Amino acid sequence: MDLNTLFFLVQQMMFFSIPLLIVALGGMFAERSGVINIALEGIMIIGAFSGVLFLFYAQASTSMHPQLLLLVTILISGAAGVAISLPHAYASVHMKANQIISGTAVNMFAPAFAVYVARMIRSVQQIPFANIFYIESVPLLGGIPFAGSLLFQKTYITTYLGFVILAAAWIALYKTPFGLRLRSCGEHPQAADSAGISVYKIRYAGVMISGALAGIGGLVFVIPTSVTFDATVAGYGFLALAVLIFGQWKPGKILFAAFFFGLMKTVSVAYTSIAFLNSMSVPSAVYKMVPYIATLIVLSFTSRNSAAPKAAGIPYDKGGR
Amino acid sequence: MILTGGFSDMFNIGQVLYYAAPIIMTGLSVGFAGKTGLFNIGASGQFTFGMYASILAAVKLSFLPPFLLCVTAVASGVLAGALWGLIPGILKALRNVHEVIACIMMNYIGMHLVNYLIRQTDIYDQLKNMTVRVPVNANISRLGLDAFFSVETASGSLRLSSAGGGIIIAVVASILLFVLLEKTKFGYELKSCGFNRDAARYAGINENRGIMLSMAIAGALAGLGGALIALAGTGRGIAVIDVLAHEGFQGIPVALLGLNNPIAIVFTGILVAYLTQSGFLLQRLNFAPEIIDIIIAVIIYFSALSLLIQGAVKFIFKIKKEKTESSAKNKPPSEGGGG
């Protein structure tokens, strides 16, 4: 395998891994606070939808600098993600509802809403946008031999955003009082409450952070891989859930899991451009199945000591023991 | 239109029953797993695999006499679904893999595998990009239901609906499940695994076997749903596209609305099918059919909140009960006492 293939693989892998990473980190904040967020898929759709809708109008009217425009769009997607995650938070924190049910409701609502609004506006369900965010080579950094071509060429600003979010998530979870409170609410909310922490507030915060990250992740998934938004994120929300469990609810392991899955996915999509894989005459369907089978196999060897937050999925009841 | 559309004439009632049959089955699949403490999000893959197996059996074994062929095709759908459900069950029981993630993976593996196998096993219709039509002999008898649920068109001919034996099979399956869960020792064992795994093991129940069996049964139910669609004689096949089967995910709200009770699932399945059929009619008024999904989502959301009301009612009753109990305690016990 020559160097160019390696560069190509890594560059492609980022397009699959980064959205998974961002969304799985979002899921982590919800689950570590004690709320199962199966609605990630729906939140991604809403985030991507509002972001792309904004781009659709903004690109027609303004001529902002592309990267600046992208950053504004990301903020809008995040805000939309927070907005759609609020009903889920309200149901699962205040109303003590079954978190799977309200998450499923969001998952059903999101694509229907996206298609419905798109049809009302454009009479077809696709919303196009011009992809002007591609970076051929980052100034200065792109010129570094090896590392430059590996990490700073043929990329999007969203890739680096993913790493920033990872670092921020790690610091927030392990190095701040908020992180400690969040984790304690997911493990033993009664103990956290007796130490003077408002479990409700922390859980709201957890779900809202996960909404913001999942909304951003939806946009990050759509931007490099397409030029229209078709009210779907191809099951990436569910895959992010898998990455979250695979990553044992810890930021570092989630990064590893997202890269593993992204690499498998890259191989399954781009195997024709990798010489030695293409020379083996394996049917393309096998490659399509590889990411999922590989995940199952790895999981079956690593799941013995699952470290799920103990109180995840259990509504907090002040009177409970 | 939403309120009356599904029941506006006999034809529409028939269509509602036709759409209801498969989602009742996937709903039963999710609900049954839910009763045993597992969340079967893999009904979609099991459904597709069951559908594929029954189409394959129907096409390849078409030399069999009609009734036998139909039974074989249904049975192979059930078996294929059971196999697809059993794999996450084994992984969960023996390797502690979370069943949700295993099921999600199995959904995608099933979708890609079926798309591949359709071409390999030569039941691929190139023009329509889907599976070939199932031979008429293999279809589940419609038992005259299609003629009963029909309307007379202006030209005097009957417009038959797609209702058939499928809904009967779905209702029978739900009754069987109810009996299995509520009236047999085996069902009790499975349910106790769901309520408290450690207590079940303490009571001498093999909980690993319980997990595997309940996932296999859940898969079989979803596979049967696939068989019902494939053999309904409406020409529906598996389209070779990279999209997961919608029916599998519709089973989740059906089961949740029915609170995992097999009998209730029949009615919630009909409700969802009814809304879907009304949605088709709404298209005539220039509404996008997605409005129905929005409505269903809102209903599900509020059904999640309704559990709270149920809880509140129980709470009030509990207080009353405790009052009567405490007043009973205040009376001096006639014998024993202390303790």
* Residue B46: predicted pLDDT: 92
Q: Which whole-number Å values give the CA distances from A180 to A105, A157, A190, A202, in the listed order? A: 30, 31, 15, 11
- Picking from B89, B117, B111, B114, the residue whose alpha carbon sits closest to that of residue B33 is B89
Q: B226 exposed, middle or buried (CB, 10 Å; 0-12, 13-18, 19+)?
A: buried
Residue B337 has pLDDT above 90, yes or no: no
Among the partner residues A95, A104, A120, nearest to B252 by beta-carbon distance: A104
* Residue B145: predicted pLDDT: 66
Q: Is B300 on the interface with A (CB under 8 A)?
A: yes
Least confident of A125-129, A252-256, B281-285: B281-285
Q: Is B305 on the interface with A (CB under 8 A)?
A: yes
Confidence of residue A144 (pLDDT cuts 50, 70, 90): confident
Q: What is the dihedral of CA B282, B284, B288, B294, to 10 degrees?
A: 0
Please name the residues in contact with A289: beta carbons below 8 A apart, sequence gap of 6 or more. A268, B108, B109, B112, B113
Residue B39, min C-alpha distance to chain A (Å): 9
Q: A161 exposed, middle or buried (CB, 10 Å; 0-12, 13-18, 19+)?
A: middle
Which of A161-170, B121-130, B231-240 is modeled with the greatest confidence? A161-170
Residue A264, min C-alpha distance to chain B (Å): 13
Least confident of A176-180, A299-303, B91-95, B162-166: B162-166
Residue A216, min C-alpha distance to chain B (Å): 23
Average pLDDT, chain B: 80
Confidence of residue A112 (pLDDT cuts 50, 70, 90): confident
Per the structure, how many domains does chain A have?
A: 1
Strand, helix or coil at B146?
helix
Q: Is A303 on the interface with B (CB under 8 A)?
A: yes
Q: Is B240 on the interface with A (CB under 8 A)?
A: no
CATH number at residue A67: 1.10.3470
- A101 is in which domain, residue-wise? 3-130+141-302
Measured between alpha carbons, how far is B224 from B21 in angstroms, rounded to an integer? 10
Measured between alpha carbons, how far is A95 from A84 in angstroms, rounded to an integer? 17
Residue B136 has pLDDT above 90, yes or no: no
Least confident of A145-149, B3-7, B253-257, B327-331: B327-331
Q: How many CB atoms lie within 10 A of CB A154?
A: 16
CATH number, domain B5-287? 1.10.3470
Q: Is A288 on the interface with B (CB under 8 A)?
A: yes
Residue carrying the six token digits 């709200």: B253
* Residue A152: predicted pLDDT: 74
Among the partner residues A96, A112, A241, nearest to B297 by beta-carbon distance: A112
* Residue B333: predicted pLDDT: 45
Which ipTM score applies to this complex? 0.78
Q: What is the pLDDT of residues A255-290, one digit of tens each?
A: 998 998 888 888 877 776 666 666 666 777 777 888
Q: Is A112 on the interface with B (CB under 8 A)?
A: yes
Confidence of residue B339 (pLDDT cuts 50, 70, 90): very low
Q: Is A318 on the interface with B (CB under 8 A)?
A: no
Q: Residue A118: closest CA among chain B residues belongs to which residue?
A: B288
Residue A286, min C-alpha distance to chain B (Å): 8
Confidence of residue B143 (pLDDT cuts 50, 70, 90): low
Residue A138 has pLDDT above 80, yes or no: no
Q: Residue B243: closest CA among chain A residues belongs to which residue?
A: A234
Residue A136 within a domain: no
Q: Is A192 on the interface with B (CB under 8 A)?
A: no
Measured between alpha carbons, how far is B62 from B70 in angstroms, rounded to an integer? 9
Q: Is B315 on the interface with A (CB under 8 A)?
A: no
If residue B215 lies in a helix (H) or strand (E), which one and from where to where? helix B207-230
Q: How many residues appear in chain B?
A: 339
Q: Which whole-number Å values give the CA distances from B286 to B86, B254, B289, B291, in the listed order? A: 44, 27, 9, 11
Q: What is the pLDDT of residues A54-82, one digit of tens each?
A: 888 888 777 778 788 888 889 999 999 99
Confidence of residue A306 (pLDDT cuts 50, 70, 90): low
* Residue to test with chain A: of B86, B300, B310, B315, most A Cβ within 10 A: B300
Confidence of residue B147 (pLDDT cuts 50, 70, 90): low
- DSSP 8-state class, residue A321: -
Q: What is the pLDDT of residues B71-130, one digit of tens each?
A: 888 899 999 999 999 999 999 888 888 888 888 889 888 988 988 888 887 777 777 777
* Residue to test with chain A: of B41, B97, B296, most A Cβ within 10 A: B97
Residue A216 has pLDDT above 90, yes or no: yes
- Picking from A28, A25, A16, the residue whose alpha carbon sits closest to that of residue A309 is A28
Measured between alpha carbons, how far is A225 from A154 in angstroms, rounded to an integer? 13
